Structure 1
C-alpha cells in the first residue's frame, strides 16, 4: 500500500507547490524544466525545497497497462533519504482536481 509523503497543488501554469512531510515539513515546488529538449533524458520537472535547494526530479510517464498519464518522482537529497526515494503523484482522495498526494513507491 502506498504511503503519502506529502501533498501538492497544481497551478494553472502546470507547476506544483506543496509540502513534503516525512518529519522535515519542507515546502516544495515542482517546476517545469524549460531547458529540456525532446530527446533529452533530463527530468520534465525539477523539484526545489524552500531551504534544501534542489531535491529531485520528476518525469511524465504513461502506465503500461492503464495507458493513463502520471508523474514519476525521484528525490535525491541526504536530508530526505540516504538513498533515492521514488514516488508518484496521485489524486488526493476527496480533494480537488488539482490536488495530489506524493505516493511513496518502496523498492523491495
Structure 2
C-alpha cells in the first residue's frame, strides 16, 4: 500500500491549508517556518518599529538567516463577527509566482500552546 493511501482523509470542501507555523515570542515578534512543496525557510515576523501611518504594516516578515530577505508584511485586524484580533499576512516572493499570497495567523490544530499559530493560506480565485 502506498504512503498516500495511508494518509488521513480530509473533507473535500476544506480550502484552508497551513503553509507554516509561528510561535509568538515574549518581545511581541513571531518565529517559525514556512513550508510548501518548494519552500522550507525559517522566518520571523517582526513588529514594524517604523510605522507612522495607519495603512503601514504592523509587522514585517523576513527570512530568519544571514540574508534576512523580506517576504512580506502583516496587519493586526479585528474579526467582524468575533471581535477578536488576528494577524493578516501578505507574502510576495518569486517562489510564490507573480501574485501575492494572502494568509492569516490562526490557532494551530492540535496545539495546546496559546502562542503557537498556523499560517493559514486562503487561495484566491
User: Shared topology, TM-score over 0.5?
Assistant: yes
Larger radius of gyration: 2
Q: Report deviation, 1:26.
A: 0.8
Question: Number of aligned pairs?
Answer: 107
Q: Does 1:78 align with 2:78?
A: no
User: Which runs of 5 or more residues in structure 1 are unaligned?
Assistant: none
Deviations 1:36-74 (A, max 9, x none): 02x331110000013560000000000112211100000
Residue number in structure 2 paired with 1:36: 51
Cα distance between partner residues in 2 of 1:8 and 1:20: 9
SS in 1 for 2:95: coil
Gaps spanning 5+ residues in structure 2: where?
1-14
Q: Distance in 1 between matches of 2:92 and 2:84?
A: 26
TM (normalized to structure 1)?
A: 0.92
Partner of 2:42: 27
Identify, as 1 or 2, the structure richer in helix: 2
State the SS of the aligned residue for 1:86: strand
Q: 1:47-86 counterparts in 2 under 5 A? A: 47-49=61-63, 50=65, 51=67, 53-86=69-102
